[in-house]
Amino acid sequence: MALTPNTNEAFLREVDDELRRDQLLTFWERYGRALIGAVVVGLALFAGFLYWQHRKTVAAGVAGEQLQIAYDSLAAQQPAKAAPVLADLAKSNRPGYSALARFTEADILLQKNDLKGAAAKFAAIAADTRVAQPFRDLALVRQTSAEFDTLKPQVVIERLRPLAVAGNPWFGSAGEMVAMAYLSSGRRDLAASLFSQIGKEDTVPETLRQRAVQMASVLGSDASAVPAAANVRIVKPATSKEAQAK
């Protein structure tokens, strides 16, 4: 007896469904355990990642609290109490807090007029590739400022020339030291040009711009874009040693 079209379609669907069930069963028998294992491993990794993120957050909070304790001790004129806290943070595997602690240690050494020790601290930060580049550049500027009186002009020029360009965050400080090094090495034209650029850069601190305008004028460069402040004494950049003397 022949099957009607509807009965034929129903039969084919039944066969198709049975085939799919057989394929699914075969797949599960072959790969089921591996699939369950992969899911379990994935969940474990995800849980581990969440825990790691939590630990990072907790560690950052602790480091921030420790740094604040150190700053509070320094504000209370208790550097001896701040020293061990800063030393621990300086060895931290968190680059940001480590750099801040080392900057603070270097500033404490500057206050003690230990220019060599401070320069070494700044140099270590500048060479630390874990630290963000702007902070490494700042450390290089601070290092050079601490060593300025003992460095040959060409060393200052080569070290800071990449930072002594308009638009760089440390253009003012780096540019002033480079310009003074140019002047010390007899290159008045380069010094005048750089002082003029600093004087015309509105992102540079006002006192530094005033000094630059005065120096540019003395050296015969056009710094008219920025009015010179009256009665501003012409001085060389204040190095760490001179700042301490004041």
Average pLDDT, the chain: 76
Query: CA torsion angle for 202, 176, 154, 103 (degrees, to 10)?
Result: -100
How far does CA 51 lie from the centroid of its chain?
Answer: 26
Shared-domain flag, residues 137 and 183 = no
Residue 237 has pLDDT above 60, yes or no: no
Is 2 within the bounds of a domain? no
Angle at the Cα of 122 (from 117 to 128), degrees rounded to 5? 130
173 and 96 fall within a common domain? no
10-14, 48-52, 129-133, 237-241: range with lowest mean pLDDT: 48-52
Read off the pLDDT of residues 61-114 as tens digits, 9 standing for 90 and up: 566 677 777 777 777 787 788 788 888 888 877 778 888 889 899 999 998 999
The last residue of one of the domains, among 143, 175, 196, is: 143
Q: Which of 127, 143, 159 is the last residue of a domain?
A: 143
Question: In this model, does residue 50 exceed pLDDT 60?
Answer: no
Give the per-residue pLDDT at 234: 39
Domain tally for the chain?
2
Residue 35 confidence (pLDDT) above 90 = no
Compute CA 144 distance to the chain's CA centroid, rounded to the nearest angstrom: 18
pLDDT value at residue 31: 60
Give the pLDDT confidence of 152-170 residue by residue, as tens digits: 999 999 999 999 999 899 9
Q: Which two tokens stand for residue 174?
A: 């780096």
Q: Do residue 156 and residue 231 come from a single domain? A: yes
Average pLDDT over residues 224-243: 45
Q: Within this chain, do residues 118 and 158 fall inside the same structural domain, yes or no?
A: no
The arithmetic mean of pLDDT across residues 133-140, rounded, is 94
- Tell me, yes or no, whether 227 and 168 share the same domain: yes
pLDDT at residue 175 in the model: 95
- Among 109, 143, 177, identify where a domain stops: 143
The pLDDT value recorded for residue 58 is 47
What SS3 string covers the chain?
A: CCCCHHHHHHHHHHHHHHHHHHHHHHHHHHHHHHHHHHHHHHHHHHHHHHHHHHHHHHHHHHHHHHHHHHHHHHHCCCHHHHHHHHHHHHCCCCHHHHHHHHHHHHHHHHHCCCHHHHHHHHHHHHCCCCCCHHHHHHHHHHHHHHHHHHCCHHHHHHHHCCCCCCCCCCHHHHHHHHHHHHHHCCCHHHHHHHHHHHHCCCCCCHHHHHHHHHHHHHCCCCCCCCCCCCCCCCCCCCCHHHHHHC
pTM, 2 dp: 0.64
| Predicted pLDDT of residue 229 | 39
Q: Which residue has the higher pLDDT, 98 or 191?
A: 191
Amino acid letter for position 187: R
Residue span of the structural domain in which 172 resides: 151-236
Residues 139 and 159 in one domain: no
